[in-house]
Structure 1
Amino acid sequence: MAITGAEQRTDRTAVLAPAVIYLAVRIVGLLVLAVMAAHDGTTLGERLASWDGDWLLAIARYGYAGVPASHLDAFGNHTPITPYGFFPGYPLAVSAVGLLTGGNLVLAGLVVSLVAGVVAAYGLTALGTLVPGGSRRAGLLLVALFAAMPMAVVLSMTYTEALFCAFAVWALVGVLREQWLLAGLCAAGAGLVRPTGNAVAAAVVLAAIVTIVTHRATWRTWVGGLLAGAGIVGYLAYVAAQAGRWDAWFRIQREGWGWYFDGGGGTAKYVAAVLADGERLFDVAIVVALAASVALFVVMARTRVPWPLLVYAFVVLVTVWGTEGLMNAKLRLLVPAFVLLVPVAVGLARRRPSTAVSVLVGVALASAWYGGYALTIWPYAI
């Protein structure tokens, strides 16, 4: 039977929907940021490649050993091992794409983030169909919510979040589909991009162990489980070898950037201070988001979300809540916790289309303004 033109258009629309939804939300954010940057006397390009993006692009251009001494850590210092605080996955991808952009690494970095964000969108769409009560509609709503997270602006910057989330979501999809090689390879990739790769590795390894213990494993299960932690463990070992001590990466983070795990003491003090006398919008928003992250995790647990997603979310939240450091960056660090939005997406999918659209328009506009505010007005947001 011949396929009509209308059917072809419908199929094409269905295929493109995740990318179109993701890009539409992010374009709104970029337009608002461009207006706010112009008002601030800077350009959109400057804002998208600022802060850590500058470090990552320098590593992509010069390698770890060649990063200029003008690049200083949070305390105004630069040592031979300072650049190793940044994981290699994103700089390597930027360097490779830079071959196609004539050496323009800013453009290459933005392309990597753009493509990775679209890849993540397709993974989120698939994830939305694999959870209890899920559907393709829920998956598409999950894409929109992800693109409109409070600090989703980093997904469009020369930052690691988009690439990490692409690896992470497809690793989780691989686990739920029992496609172990996909899960293991993506988990290894995530571990080369951000330290949050520990959450992906934990989810994949534990799922593989359960499969092995219940006698349902194949050789792919074993390989996927072994691959899952290879990225993050391999890089930490590499940094240890370069610096001559086993805890080198953790030492760089603490002494160069002020980040270290304290069991949540620093976060608790910050939250208490903001609740007691917080007057700044950004601080209040961070506390609200931190509280919402816990509430959403409880909702996940109560709505029978597959346990590997709970493991992933739990490790991400423990890392965010339990780490001392720049508290204003906590909202950015919550971007990889995209699985917390799964129950929201499933719930919205059951509402009338007009309700879902109204909610998405509202959060997209709020995210656009918030991202612009974070990059042009607030001094230390990312």
Structure 2
Amino acid sequence: MTDLETRVTPPGSATPRRAAPALLGYAAVRALGLLALVLWSAARDKSAYTLLTARWDALWYTRVAELGYGYEVRLPNGDVHSNLAFFPLLPWLERLLHAVTPLSYADAGFVVSLLASLAAAWGVFAVADRVYGRRAGVCAVLVWAVLPVGIVQSMAYSESLFTALAAWSLYAVLTGRWVTAGALASLAGLTRPVGLAVVAAVWAAGVASFVRDRKAQTADTPPRREVRAAGARVAPRALGMLLAPLGAAGYVLWVGHHTGKGLLGYLDVQAGWRNGFDGGYAFARFVAEKFTSFPSALAGLGLIVGVALLVWLYVVCVRQRQPLELLVYTGVVLALALCASSYFGSKPRLLLPAFPLLLPLALALTRLRTSRSALVVGCLAVASAGYGAWWLNGSGPP
């Protein structure tokens, strides 16, 4: 077996003790990023905490937590920005934490984000460890931590919460815990629209598993114990697949009922934000417009290189024979992020949950000596911290 092939590790691979190096490294990277943000913001007479908890989408989430749904802003051009565009799990958790502690809604959002980011890092480790081993798991977490937009993992946004639910749902699929996988997929569907990716992964793995069991049962002389084992897995697997889409479907149907527009209600809400799915046409046009002048042409070239890198990494994931559920999940996240018709500046953070794309990079790190891999990660962590501080004090994520 080569180091690029799937490795089977013990079921206890997700224990806190086994994940401790990854979690400690992740916490160190995030602490560095927060320190850089505090220092940079102080130099510009801004509040780092405000940037993390009370700007952009974080404000929308806290308003949902405090006031419920129904708030909207009508722009001069006629667009209507409704808070129905924001899925409810994060504001529910903010409201719950506010109710049981002295924390404000914004403080609660920050605490939920911090805890969710650690859960996400643990989940990324669990998946990578299950597929490629412990060292790859540690490296995968560190690579995810040092992404240029990694500071979003510490913001009162839903990316960390969603990544945690998605990673643990995928891990549950990998370990055959179908009901858990379906329940977590349902919660992911209550967190972000891209919860569809987790549902698709659970369904793809479930269908593939049914097909394998069917082939085993129709073999010439299948061992009796294999047939019994396959039959015992049918009910939990089917239940997990049924649970998976309930969260997203429930919220979309509720929005349709709330707006009085049926199944199209949520699409109309997104249209008010000028957001939709057009197969990437608007994004391609946005990139093409960058080549109208020399300075912006460099940005356009950078975007093309970035998209090409993402596609190349996905091809590598396929060639390295990642499990089907990881490939389906990553493919849907990529498609939804790159083919959305608006908010092009948000695409890097929308890709944060696509952590299986980082597994080839993690494997490359495992081939280096520990001292060299630590140097690489350290340099990337410093660069990520500096970029995150500059980014939030500049345009920031829309």
TM-score (normalised: structure 1): 0.89
Which residue number in structure 2 is paired with residue 127 of structure 1? Answer: 127
1:109-135 Cα distance to aligned partner (Å, 9 max, x none): 11101111111111111111222xx11
Identity %: 36
Contact 2:204 2:324 (C-alpha < 8 Å) held by counterparts: no
1:91-240 mapped onto 2 (5 Å cutoff): 91-131=91-131, 134-215=132-213, 216=230, 217-240=233-256
Alignment of 1:318 onto 2:322:
no
Q: For 1:53 and 1:114, locate their aligned partners in 2 and report how far apart those are by CA, in whole Å.
A: 14
Contact 1:188 1:230 (C-alpha < 8 Å) held by counterparts: yes
CA RMSD of aligned residues (A): 2.2
Q: Return the offset for 1:283.
A: 6.5
Q: For 2:83 and 2:167, locate their aligned partners in 1 and report how far apart those are by CA, in whole Å.
A: 27
Contact 2:56 2:397 (C-alpha < 8 Å) held by counterparts: no
Q: For 2:130 and 2:294, locate their aligned partners in 1 and report how far apart those are by CA, in whole Å.
A: 41
Out of 29, 32, 38, the residue aligned to residue 28 of structure 1 is 32
Alignment of 1:274 onto 2:290:
yes
Q: For 1:12 and 1:166, locate their aligned partners in 2 and report how far apart those are by CA, in whole Å.
A: 15
| Residues 220, 73 of structure 1: alpha-carbon distance in 2 compared, 3 angstrom cutoff | farther
Which residue number in structure 2 is paired with residue 61 of structure 1? Answer: 66
Contact 1:286 1:331 (C-alpha < 8 Å) held by counterparts: no
Q: For 1:351 and 1:118, locate their aligned partners in 2 and report how far apart those are by CA, in whole Å.
A: 26
Structure 2: runs of 5+ lacking an equivalent: 1-14, 214-229
1:249-271 Cα distance to aligned partner (Å, 9 max, x none): 1111122x221111111111222
Q: Return the offset for 1:88.
A: 0.2
SS at match of 2:368: coil
Contact 2:123 2:167 (C-alpha < 8 Å) held by counterparts: yes
Q: For 1:13 and 1:223, locate their aligned partners in 2 and report how far apart those are by CA, in whole Å.
A: 31
Q: For 1:365 and 1:289, locate their aligned partners in 2 and report how far apart those are by CA, in whole Å.
A: 21
Q: For 2:291 and 2:76, locate their aligned partners in 1 and report how far apart those are by CA, in whole Å.
A: 27
Structure ID, larger Rg: 2
Number of corresponding residues? 363
In the alignment, residue 115 of structure 2 is paired with which amino acid? V
Which residue number in structure 1 is paired with residue 22 of structure 2? Answer: 18
Q: For 1:130 and 1:336, locate their aligned partners in 2 and report how far apart those are by CA, in whole Å.
A: 18
| Residues 381, 233 of structure 1: alpha-carbon distance in 2 compared, 3 angstrom cutoff | same
1:77-129 Cα distance to aligned partner (Å, 9 max, x none): 657xx111100011001111112431411211111011111111111111112
Contact 1:278 1:284 (C-alpha < 8 Å) held by counterparts: no
SS at match of 1:187: helix
SS at match of 2:334: helix
Q: Return the offset for 1:16.
A: 2.8
Out of 362, 365, 369, the residue aligned to residue 345 of structure 1 is 362
| Residues 77, 39 of structure 1: alpha-carbon distance in 2 compared, 3 angstrom cutoff | farther
Structure 1: runs of 5+ lacking an equivalent: 1-10
1:53-92 mapped onto 2 (5 Å cutoff): 53-65=58-70, 67=71, 82-92=82-92
SS at match of 1:305: coil
1:229-268 mapped onto 2 (5 Å cutoff): 229-245=245-261, 246-255=263-272, 257-268=273-284
Q: Return the offset for 1:218.
A: 2.4
SS at match of 2:295: coil
In the alignment, residue 224 of structure 1 is paired with which amino acid? G
